[in-house]
Amino acid sequence: MSDHSSSGNRPLIPGQVAVWLGAVSLLAAGLIVTGYSYLALRQGPNEDAARRQAQKELRAENAKKAQALLTEPARNADGTFRIPLKDAVALVAQDPKVVAKLQAAAGPAPAPAAAPAAPAAAAGAFVKADPEQMKRGAAVYARTCIACHQPTGLGLPPVFPPLANAPIVVGNPELPVKFILQGLMGPITVNGMTYNSMMPPVAGVSDADIADVLTYVRQSFGNQGNPVTADQVKAIRAANAGRTAPWTTAELGLK
């Protein structure tokens, strides 16, 4: 009994402490959970709303640019289009029909010239590329050219010229290698339509990558040009090693 009474006296304090501790930690946990979920609930929709608002503004901005270009196309003095590439890509993403609308604004395209009778083949026997090189070239094309010159090789007239039925593509590889390494700007007429935009240098491509991609475009889209080797590219790269400025069509005698 004395055991009982003394134990009845003693646990009173630890019991109280335990109750207090329990209450305090419950309260703290409750506060943390409530506070956290309040913040999470408050911040989530806020960030989403900000993101949605930014996207909406970007879309509106692109729509405005598209409209400006369609009603009053950005033109060079010679009447050709000069749309910054960034805008062109944004415009195409914004409105897939924008190219057709730009073409309509540009007026009827002159009838394309008849397909050249495989100039490279005329210079010598046509050599069919190794299928492995074509496969590698297709991969480089998909990584480095496709956004502008398109999967069809038809480009996006009047902004990006076609690689199909384009004499430069099947001619001496020196020109396309130079364009890939340093870029190209200035008026150039391909397939009856004049372009005056800029091709930026293509970054991060080895001599072998360039040989593969050029071989691929020279034997795709109806083109018939002989394969290009990494050694050819290497020599052209070495001959223009100090050059950083984009090539101009004027200095290359291109029209």
Residues that bind ligand HEC in the complex, under the rule CB under 6 A: 85, 144-145, 147-149, 160-163, 166, 168-169, 176, 179-180, 184-186, 188, 190, 195-200, 202, 213, 217, 249
Residue owning tokens 């299928």:
131
CA trace torsion 186, 73, 92, 49 (10° rounding): 120
Contact 189, 181 (CB under 8 A): no
CB of 98 to ligand HEC, least distance (A): 16
Shortest separation between residue 131's beta carbon and ligand HEC, angstroms? 19
From the CB of 56, what's the least distance to ligand HEC, in Å? Answer: 27
Q: Cα separation of 237 and 243, whole Å?
A: 9
Query: Nearer Cβ to ligand HEC, position 46 or 206?
Result: 206
Instruction: Tell the smallest beta-carbon distance from residue 143 to ligand HEC (Å).
Output: 9
Nearer to ligand HEC, 30 or 202 (CB): 202
What's the rounded Cα separation, in Å, for the pair 62 and 171? 38
Cβ nearer to ligand HEC, comparing 101 with 201: 201
Minimum CB distance to ligand HEC smaller for 134 or for 198: 198
- The neighbour count for residue 237, using CB atoms within 10 Å, is 18
Shortest distance, position 164 Cβ to ligand HEC, whole Å: 9
Nearer to ligand HEC by Cβ, of 66 and 184: the residue is 184
Q: Which amino acid is at 25?
A: S
- Would you give the distance in Å from CA 249 to the centre of its chain? 24
